[in-house]
Amino acid sequence: MAGTAHQHTDVEGVDGGVGLTALLVAAARAIETHRHDSLAQDDYAEHFVRAAPACADWPVRMQQVPDGDGNPLWGRFARYFGLRTRVLDDFLLRSVRTGVRQVVLLGAGLDTRAFRLDWPSGCVVFEIDRAGVLAFKHRVLRDLPATPKAKRVPVPVDLSADWVTALTAAGFDPAVPSVWLAEGLLFYLPSSVETHLIDAVDGLTTEGSALAFEAKLEKDLLEYRDSAIYTATREQIGIDLIHLFDRGTRPDSAGALTAKGWSTSVHTPFDFTHRHGRGPLPEPNDALEGNRWVFSHKRPSRGRPA
């Protein structure tokens, strides 16, 4: 059984709460992969879970969950992560179909999109995360083995450090359109770091670029401490998400992008549950009710020559 969110796992470089949450998402993706009505396929996800001693007793198939979909963590919450994976997969693939060839995964964690999605020729996937996280992922995938379907460029740097310089040094070209993803990331960051990140993405992108990220509405997160999914996550695997989330005032990043000339749409996860015919639906004291998925596209600047 995993320990508290502050306890080190035995995974090289994947330590503390955010490391364990990456493994939680991997377990959820593994469960989603094996569902009969799967929304997303990630055949690599269960191997991360099995490679981490802290997660040795976590399920990777719904059949391993005694109460099945009635389990708030491995049923409803895991399905949420499955739906999120599908929606963001679709967003990236739509972007590259318009000719974008640079993909940037911010806080990539155990994301395997470079390996499992069908990328057009010429795509480059930049994965930004801490060196230890990327090293663990590399070790697991190397032993499978796994072959990326696009050029994959790990960028080992913490997002609180100078990741912009590291990304450009790795070959990213700001003059060429790009698509960016911040999946399950921003609400762990202090407000100032989120604002810097959004400003940096704006500064590194040209027209035709796109960004998707997950945000939470401004609300006291402690109100959701006793919600079913957060309680189950805390009691079953020892991850206290409320403790991990930054509880400072959240910036309006969607509004900031709109002010910078991006076209932005904001959705609830439940919008996509209805679209796909499966996924979480609202319930009382719902920790998911404040989650928003934001999709932004950078329009041409009026002051810029065509």
Cα gap 108→237, rounded to integer Å: 22
Give residue 306's pLDDT band: very low, low, confident or very high (50, 70, 90): very low
Cα gap 240→253, rounded to integer Å: 25
| Cα-based distances in Å from 98 to 42, 93, 95, 120, 236 | 24, 9, 5, 11, 43
**Is the C-alpha dihedral spanning 164, 165, 166, 170 positive or negative?**
positive
Cα gap 33→170, rounded to integer Å: 32
pLDDT value of residue 301: 73
**Number of domains within the chain:** 1
In a domain, 9, yes or no: no
Written as six digits, the tokens of 294 are: 């934001």
In a domain, 236, yes or no: yes
pLDDT for 231-267, tens place per residue? 999 999 999 999 999 888 889 999 999 999 999 999 9
In a domain, 179, yes or no: yes
Report whether pLDDT(2) > 50. Answer: no
Angle at which helices 78-97 and 16-33 cross, to 10°? 80
Report whether pLDDT(108) > 80. Answer: yes
CB-CB contact of 123 with 103 (8 Å): yes
CB-CB contact of 104 with 113 (8 Å): no
Give residue 197's pLDDT band: very low, low, confident or very high (50, 70, 90): very high
Give residue 14's pLDDT band: very low, low, confident or very high (50, 70, 90): low
Tell whether omega for the bond before 148 is within 30 degrees of 0, i.e. cis: no
In a domain, 6, yes or no: no
Cα within 13 Å of Cα(226), Cβ side: 2
Report whether pLDDT(109) > 90. Answer: yes
Contacts for 188 with CB less than 8 Å, ≥ 6 apart: 18, 244, 245, 246
CB-CB contact of 233 with 239 (8 Å): yes
Cα within 13 Å of Cα(182), Cβ side: 23
Q: Is residue 108 left, alpha or beta, with left meaning phi > 0 and alpha meaning psi from -120 to 50?
A: alpha
pLDDT value of residue 22: 94
Q: What is the CATH number of the domain that holds 28?
A: 3.40.50.150
pLDDT value of residue 216: 87
pLDDT for 57-86, tens place per residue? 999 999 999 899 999 999 999 999 999 999
What percent of the chain has a predicted confidence (pLDDT) above 70?
Answer: 92
In a domain, 1, yes or no: no
In a domain, 214, yes or no: yes
Mean pLDDT (the chain, rounded): 91
User: How deeply is 284 buried, as exposed, middle or buried, from its count of CB atoms within 10 A (0-12, 13-18, 19+)?
Assistant: exposed
Which is nearest to 176 in space by CA: 212, 124, 120, 105? 124
> What range does the domain containing 201 cover?
16-298
Report whether pLDDT(13) > 80. Answer: no
pLDDT value of residue 240: 93
Written as six digits, the tokens of 160 are: 């609180």
CA dihedral 208, 214, 215, 220 (to 10 degrees): 180
Report whether pLDDT(305) > 80. Answer: no
pLDDT value of residue 136: 94
Give residue 302's pLDDT band: very low, low, confident or very high (50, 70, 90): low
pLDDT for 205-232, tens place per residue? 999 999 999 998 866 677 888 999 999 9
Cα gap 132→19, rounded to integer Å: 10
Give residue 17's pLDDT band: very low, low, confident or very high (50, 70, 90): low
pLDDT for 20-35, tens place per residue? 999 999 999 999 999 9
In a domain, 7, yes or no: no
CB-CB contact of 31 with 61 (8 Å): yes
